[in-house]
Structure formats: structure tokens, C-alpha cells
Amino acid sequence: MLSGVVTSINISDRKGIRKMPGVTGELIVGLGLAKDAHAADWHRQISLLAQESIDKMSALGLDVGPGDFAENITTVGLDLMSLPVGTELGIGQTARVEITQIGKECHDRCAIYYQAGDCVMPKEGVFAAVKVGGEIRVGDSIRVISPAEEIAKEIG
């Protein structure tokens, strides 16, 4: 099974700023992560970023960690960038999300770029819509639910 682990759940009350890392959160169908500024009825309800992407920026000398790129969920062990749009992910006991976008276009350099010195979200961030809500916690598994067979073939 293609899976990883949730290492941080990050929330902010305003857009365009670093998010504060936490240990729990509630995913709400059609909205996103409760209490987060990006939560809305749109295709980018939550954002995910791999710790491996953050580590690449750290290796370049940036002092960054979970939430610094405004991602809602930081993961480890799952190659998020290899997952196509439409992939469903299970998080924790009940939550399910569907990847709706990989990367994003940044028209202007946001506050995160100026605070962190660079931003990996435009290239390596993954966005999703909540299909089944539920509580999520640091340490929860995050796993590919579908189309697992096709993805396994593509990434070996």
C-alpha cells in the first residue's frame, strides 16, 4: 500500500502567512480544515506538503519547518508529487480527501516567500477537497485509496 504519516497539522487565521503547527485538526466536507483561513467551498480546501520538500529548502540554508509554507498537512514517506489529480487519500481513521491540484501559480511573491526566502508550494504543494470528514492527528497514516493499482504501476 502506498502510505506515509502525518507529521504536522497547520492552521492560520489569515491567508498568505505561515501556519502554526499543531497536533490535531478536523476536516469538514466541502470546507477543509476547521478554523483555517483557506477553508472554503472551492477546489483547494486543504494543502499538503511533504516534509521531504521542506528538508530540501532546509538543506539550502533556510530556517523552515512544518507550516512555514502555509501547508495544512505536512507528511513524510508518501511521494505526494507522484500522485495524479483525482487520487483519493485516506487520513487517520475516517477522513478522505481527493487531490484536485498539484502545484499552483503564484502571481506575486507572497509573505511566505519573503519570510522563508523561497516557496516550494507552487512546485511541490498538493491541494485537495475533503470528501469524508473526521478528526486527524499527528502520527495518523495517510494512504492512497484510489486509484492505488494504477499509481503503483506508474511509480514502480
- 21 in Cβ contact with 73 (< 8 Å): no
Question: Which tens digit of pLDDT belongs to each residue from 69-97?
Answer: 889 999 999 999 899 999 999 999 999 99
Confidence at residue 64, expressed as pLDDT on a 0 to 100 scale: 87
Q: What percent of the chain has pLDDT over 90?
A: 64
What is the SS3 assignment for 81?
A: helix
- pLDDT beyond 70 at 138: yes
Confidence at residue 114, expressed as pLDDT on a 0 to 100 scale: 62
- Kindly indicate the confidence band of residue 68, based on its pLDDT and cuts at 50, 70 and 90: confident
Better-predicted residue by pLDDT, 19 or 110:
19
Domain boundaries defined on the chain: 3-155
- 72 in Cβ contact with 57 (< 8 Å): no
Distance CA 143, CA 3 (A): 4
Q: What is the CATH number of domain 3-155?
A: 2.40.33.20
- Kindly indicate the confidence band of residue 149, based on its pLDDT and cuts at 50, 70 and 90: low
How many Cβ atoms are within 10 Å of 120's Cβ, its own excluded? 21
- Kindly indicate the confidence band of residue 65, based on its pLDDT and cuts at 50, 70 and 90: very high
